[in-house]
Each structure stands twice: as structure tokens, then as C-alpha cells.
Amino acid sequence: MRIGVPKEIKNHEYRVGLVPSSVAELVHHGHSVMVERGAGLGAGLADGEYEAAGAVIVDGPGRIFMEAEMVVKVKEPLPEERRRLRPEQILFTYLHLAPDLEQTKDLMASGATCIAYETVTSPSGALPLLTPMSEVAGRLAPQVGAHCLEKAQGGRGVLLGGVPGVPGAEVVILGGGVSGSHAAAIALGMGAHVTVIDRSADVLRRLSSQFGSSVRTLFSTRESIAQAVRQADLLIGAVLVPGAAAPKIVTHDMVRSMQAGSVIVDIAIDQGGCSETSRPTTHSEPTYIIDDVVHYCVTNMPGAVARTSTFALNNVTLPFTLALADKGWLQAVKDDRFLRDGLNVHAGKIVCRPVAEAHGLPYTPAEEVLA
């Protein structure tokens, strides 16, 4: 199969779809790989490393989208990239379609087969291709939140860990999944007081077992969220409903109740955000202020640590990339029901129920497509 890796063009996105070792594996399996010149530089990967692994370096994205049978990326294709997609081409990347009607319609119009990292599942029901980026985003959240709490950034002027005689910040984390638990670990390590809210009693038990009495756990109700949000110096939104838009569990009234200079870091912004006041931002302009509360809603947080993120992502995506290349997408998703869950759009049809429901568009079960 002819595989193409374009350079990411999203604002300050430095990750790359394949690292040289992944290219070498694909070439070893008999496939050809084209990499856009400079695609890996943001992650510290030179063109020469890709050439040594067997890739062909090409100038610009044109040839990649024209010739590649499968395009491997990191972030969702932007409009100029979507216009280059064509029927029978495979797109393998993060898509996050539920909050993005325009992208959904464009991918349907392209006729391409679009497989989303974030909806591929595992036998345990986990999301193996989302997990490493959730880990990165969770670990970044207290770090960027601590920076936003600085007075010069519009924050309260609170040091996350405090100092002897002065208490640390109150950190409230909504969601105790992968991102939330990693955020809790880092916030604790920085010396903050941490509360995690989740609607799953099993998750709360796991967090209690993991952190002991160091973390306060609360069952998620509207009232418990409202009270915790009101007291938070740093609120981290780590809510996830796989494939679907994030629920807006933090209302505008709750945001108004927060202390001036408090900070919201909404990790869920890729799926629309979990606060009514959240809107997507970029690494160039990461924050805005509503009702004296600083909002950090960058949609590609892991891109800030591109080298770590790129290698972590390739560790989990490579087996699926190889399967798609070795077998073709149709046989690969027939053989692997977990990869099949990643199929979002095919030949103009939406094959992911949460995406279809989010936009009120017709849903086609994967079984019909495979037949």
C-alpha cells in the first residue's frame, strides 16, 4: 500500500503521524511511505531519519493526498486538507466529529474511508489510541493551570502548591478516567488540594485505592459539582463520552460563582468542552476570560510536548496502521471488531452512531457497510 504522512498544519501542532521506526516497519512489510518534507521537525525528527528508514521525502502535501492510498495524520484534517481527500482513500487520524458538523459533512462529501483513533476500542472497553494523549493532556492540565493562576496571566496569583504556612490551591477535577486520574497525580505532586468528581462508584473506589486520603472523591450530582466549582482555584474538565459531544455539566451560573482569577482547563474541548463557557482556543492564543475566570481550552494540548506525544501515539497506532496496510481497510475491520469501532465515515455515510446522533444525520451500521 502507498502510505502518506503530511505535515500537520493546525496551529502550533508539532506532532507527526509516523516516526521513522514506524516507517521502517511499514517498509519491511512491503509498503511504500511518502513523508512531507519537514513533517517531523517539530518532534525533533529530521528528514534524513525518515529517508534512512525507507521513506520518500516529498515537497508539500499535494503528491501525498493525490497518490497515497492511506493518509496517516495526528489531528483532524482542516478544510484545505479535506478538499484534497478522494473516494476510496483511507484517512487514519483523530477526528472528533461529534462537535464538528462542517468537518463531518466535508468528510462525507469526500467519499473517503475515515477511521478515527479516538473511537477504536479494546476488549476491556477502553480507548487504546486515545489513552496516551489523554495521559499527556491530564499531566499537562495542572501545569498549564498553575501558569494561568499567575497574576500576570489573569489568574488569582495563587501558587498551586502553596508554601509553608500558606495553603496550596484547591484543584477540582471533573471526571476520574485516564485524563482525570493523571491530572490528579500531577496536581498532588505539585502540592495542591485535589477533589475528583465522577458519576461511577467504581471509578471513585479506584481513585480512593490509588491515592488514599490524599484525594477527596465526590459522587457527581448537579449540587456536588456546583459546590466544588464554587470553591475551586483550578477546575479541570476531564469528562468523556466516547465518540459523542461532551456533556455541559458546568453551567454559566456555576462559572459566575467562581472566585475572580480562578482558572478552567477544559481537556474535553476536543469533544466540545464540558462547560457552557468553553470555546476552542489555540496554542497561539490559549486563554480568554469570562466573568473574571480564565479559560484554557486548547484543542491540541499534547502538541505542546510533541516529541513525547508523537512517540507515545505511535506506540499504540502502529499495529492498527500495519493491519490496515497489510489487509486493506475492509478486511482489517472485518477481522478486528475493535478497529471497526474506529470507522466513522465511509463513502458518504456516517458509520458512528454518536456522531450521527450529535448532528441529526442518518446512521449506517458498520455491518451494512461491510456487507
So which residues are the catalytic ones?
A: 96, 270
250 secondary structure, DSSP code: B
Given a contact cutoff of 8 angstroms between Cβ atoms, the answer to whether 181 and 269 are in contact is: no
Q: Which of 137, 103, 161 is nearest to 300 (CA)?
A: 137
Interior CA angle at 41 toward 271 and 4, to 5°? 70
Residue 36, strand partner residues = 58
In sequence order, the 6+-apart residues with CB closer than 8 A to the CB of 119 are 127, 242, 243, 341, 342, 344, 352
Q: Do 196 and 173 form a contact (C-beta atoms < 8 A)? A: yes
Give the whole-angstrom CA distance, residue 323 versus residue 329: 8
Q: Are 104 and 97 in contact (CB under 8 A)?
A: yes
Q: Distance between CA 327 and CA 321 in Å, rounded?
A: 10
Q: Please count the residues of the chain.
A: 371
Residues 6 or more apart whose CB falls under 8 angstroms from that of 241 comprise 247, 271, 354
| Cell reading at 300 | 491540541
Residue pair 322/24 in contact by the 8 Å Cβ criterion = no
